[in-house]
Structures are given as C-alpha cells and as structure tokens.
C-alpha cells in the first residue's frame, strides 16, 4: 500500500507538515477511544498485562497514539488529507494497529498474555474508533499547519535550480568544462 500511495506523488510537498499534524490528530483521537477502553474493562486488562497503573497506561497510550498518528499522516500523505476518504484510511490504519499490535505484538511482548472477553472487544473497538477519528481529523488539523503558498514557493528546491534536477552538482572534469577551463 505504501508503494501504491507514493508511486503517484502522494507524498506531501515541502509546505506540508504531516508528522506534526498526524501527532496532534493522533492525540485528539484518543478522546473518544479512551472511554471505550474504560467502559469495556480493556484499560484495566491492558494495565494488568503491561504491569502498569491505569493512569500510566493512558499516558503511554496517548504517546504511542501520537507516534501512530504521525506515522499514519506520513504514510498516507496526501491521501490522508482527503476529507472524503480519510475516515476509511484511518479505520484501515486502526485495524492494522489492532491486528498487528494488539493481536500479535502485545501477546508476544507480554509473554503470551492477551485481553479476552469484553476487554478484547474494547481494544478492537477503541482502535477502530481511534482510526476513524484520526482519519476524520487529519484533513482539518493539517490545514492551519500548512505554510502559505507564498512562503512554500520560496523553498530552494522549487526554484530555478530544479531545472538541473539531481544532476545539478557538477564534479571534476565536467565542472572544469562548465567554468570554461
């Protein structure tokens, strides 16, 4: 999917700040996810598995979700900025976090312990809701973090030197010829 997303130039341009926007969206998106964890007993189950207090689990969870949000925004790039599809891409990412993180990595990291019953349902639901929220939020969060068109157009990489592309640095003999020697 990463190849699909980047192959057509969906990487953000120099005026966009995907990591910052993603991290902020990731933290805000924990707001609807945490009550689900609490309601279905998932928070206590996870705290028990990790050997931490519930409060510390929430703090670490928020930090992890900020990183996850940044990763989401960087990987999905311009696709993540799409207000029409963002919700779905976010849910896809949330599902991937659940399938990869909660189902596979957490049991491995905790010596085989995993949430079960309603706690397991809570983990799945909270990650899907987090993904949905981050997908909905990102298109709106990243806009005010943008550089303006005017400022963005002053970056050196979009200026006249771009005509030479990657070959612009002349070396050795070629440089001598360019200087007329």
Partner 1 sequence: MMRVVSFRKAVIAGVCGAAVMEICSALARLAGAPTVDFVTQLSSVAFDHSPVLTNAAALAAHLSIGVCWAIFYAFFFWGRLRVPPLVQGLIFSLLPAALAIFIVYPELRMMRLHTEVVSLSMHSFLEPLSPVTAASLLVAHLLFGLTVGAIYRRPVGYGVGTKPRTPALRRPRPEHGERAGNSSGFMFATGIECSYPTIEHGRWRRDEMDSTRHYSLWQHDFELAREMGITHIRYGPPLHLIFEGIGRYDWDYCDPQMAELRDCGPEPIADLCHFGLPSWLGDFQNGDIGAALAEYAAAFAERYPWVRFYTPVNEMYVCARMSALDGIWNEQLRDEGAYGRAAWNLANASIAMSEAILKRRPDAIFINSESSEFYQPCCPDPHVQQAADAANERRFLPLDLIYAHPLSKPMHELLRAQGIPDQEIKRLAKREVPRRSILGVDYYEWNERLIDRSGKALALGELFGWYVIADQYWQRYRRPMMHTETNRMDANGAPRWLWRQWHNVQLLRRSGVPLVGFTWYSLTDQIDWSIAISEPIGIVYPVGLFDLNREARTVGLAYKHLIDLYRDEPEYRECKALQEIMS
Q: Which positions lie near partner 1, rule CB under 8 A?
A: 1, 4-5, 8-11, 13-16, 41, 44-45, 48-49, 78-79, 81-85, 88-89, 91-92, 99, 103, 107, 112-121, 124, 139, 146, 149-150, 152-155, 157-160, 162-165
- 155-159 own/partner pairs: CB under 8 Å, 24+ apart: 155/14, 155/15, 157/14, 158/14
Output 168 or 171, the one with its CB closest to partner 1: 168
Q: Which of 96, 149, 114, 92 is nearest to 42 (CA)?
A: 114
DSSP 110: T
Q: Which of 118, 98, 99, 116 is nearest to 39 (CA)?
A: 118
* 72/89 with CB nearer partner 1: 89
Task: Name 95's Cβ contacts closer than 8 Å, sequence gap at least 6.
Answer: 127, 128, 131
CB of 54 to partner 1, least distance (A): 13
Residue 67 Cβ, how far from partner 1 at the closest point, in Å?
Answer: 23
> 29 near 130, Cβ under 8 Å?
yes
Burial (CB count <10 Å: 0-12, 13-18, 19+), residue 43: buried
Say how far apart CA 124 and CA 118 lie, in whole Å: 10
* Residue closer to partner 1, measured from CB, 165 or 173: 165
Q: 73 with 18: CB under 8 angstroms?
A: yes
Task: Decide whether 32 or 161 has the Cβ nearer to partner 1.
Answer: 161
Nearer to partner 1, 32 or 159 (CB): 159
């Amino acid at each position: 999917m990463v190849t699909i997303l980047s192959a057509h130039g969906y990487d953000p341009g120099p005026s966009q700040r995907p990591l910052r926007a993603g991290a902020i969206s990731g933290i805000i998106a924990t707001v609807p996810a945490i009550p689900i964890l609490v309601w279905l007993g998932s928070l206590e189950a996870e705290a028990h598995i990790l050997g931490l207090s519930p409060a510390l689990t929430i703090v670490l969870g928020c930090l992890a979700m900020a990183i996850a949000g940044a990763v989401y925004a960087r990987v999905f790039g311009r696709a993540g900025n799409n207000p029409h599809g963002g919700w779905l891409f976010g849910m896809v990412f949330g599902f991937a976090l659940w399938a990869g993180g909660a189902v596979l990595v957490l049991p491995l990291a905790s010596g085989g312990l995993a949430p079960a019953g309603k706690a397991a349902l809570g983990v799945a639901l909270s990650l899907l809701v987090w993904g949905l929220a981050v997908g909905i939020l990102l298109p709106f969060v990243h806009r005010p973090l943008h550089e303006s068109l005017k400022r963005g157009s002053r970056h050196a990489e979009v200026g006249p030197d771009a005509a030479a592309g990657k070959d612009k640095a002349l070396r050795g003999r070629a440089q001598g010829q360019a200087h007329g020697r």
